[in-house]
Amino acid sequence: MSKSQLLPEVSTGDKAATAQLQAAAAGGECLVKIGGDWRLNEPVPSWAKVLGKRTAANVRVVPENLGNWDTSLVLFLVHCRAWCMESKSDFHGEALPANLQTLLGQVPMNGAAKPAGKAAVKSKWELATLVATQWALHVKQIVSFLGECTLGFIGEAKNPRRFRWLDCLVEMQRCWSSSLPMVSLVSFLVGVILAF
């Protein structure tokens, strides 16, 4: 079983650029041949579309007439490696150029996110439900905070010796000295507005 994807040529000045990919399964190994020019500003083959739901014990990537490339090829290979991890296959990229292997080695094994699909359009009812859920969550957090403050004040009123008064006074002094310039500025501006 083999599947090949060759993207249409895109004109970049006087030279046409193509990103080529051929995937052929032989036994338990899937041989992936990459070639052509790989550029971020040009369409490139998608790993998910080419391999789909296939399974292979080994995936071997080899260059064939590989031209100029940039991080689009690195990203493609990272997705290939992630697919191999998910399907518990072995990824072999020993035949790749040394600089490409170096770049690929610098990306963590779990560092590639899956290509994002199209986000489903939500209905008005779903949006209203989402807003109501978020609003209820915010209200719950506010009530929880007020409850903790109230319980804290009640606890300190019952046992005032537990409260660290010296630390409180030091913090109040710091807040006073650091807020003095801002309070002075606001008071001045309010006075100017009232005078006007």
Do 143 and 90 lie in one domain? The reply is no
CATH of the domain at 14: 3.30.750.24
Is residue 116 situated within a structural domain?
no
A 10 A CB-CB count for 172 gives 10
pLDDT score, position 28: 67
Instruction: Quote the distance between the C-alpha of residue 113 and its chain's center.
Output: 7
Do 138 and 66 lie in one domain? The reply is no
Q: What is the pLDDT of residues 54-106, one digit of tens each?
A: 666 777 788 888 888 887 888 888 887 887 777 777 787 888 888 888 887 88
Q: Counting Cβ atoms within 10 Å, is residue 109 exposed (0-12), middle (13-18) or buried (19+)?
A: exposed
- Write the single-letter amino acid at 93: G
pLDDT score, position 5: 37
Q: What is the pLDDT of residues 144-181, one digit of tens each?
A: 999 999 998 898 888 888 888 888 888 888 888 888 88
> 106, 135, 163 — which closes off a domain?
106
Backbone angles phi, psi at 50, to 5 degrees: -75, -50
Q: What is the pLDDT of residues 109-127, one digit of tens each?
A: 655 455 555 556 668 888 8
State how many domains the chain has: 2
> 49, 78, 106 — which closes off a domain?
106
Do 101 and 22 lie in one domain? The reply is yes
pLDDT score, position 13: 32
Do 128 and 102 lie in one domain? The reply is no
Q: What is the pLDDT of residues 26-47, one digit of tens each?
A: 566 777 788 888 887 777 777 7
Residue 13, classed as helix, strand or coil, is coil
Q: How confident is the model at residue 139 (pLDDT cuts 50, 70, 90)?
A: very high
What is the extent of the structural domain holding 170?
A: 124-195
Do 30 and 80 lie in one domain? The reply is yes
- Write the single-letter amino acid at 35: G
| DSSP conformation class of 114 | P
| pTM (two decimals) | 0.45
- Write the single-letter amino acid at 186: V
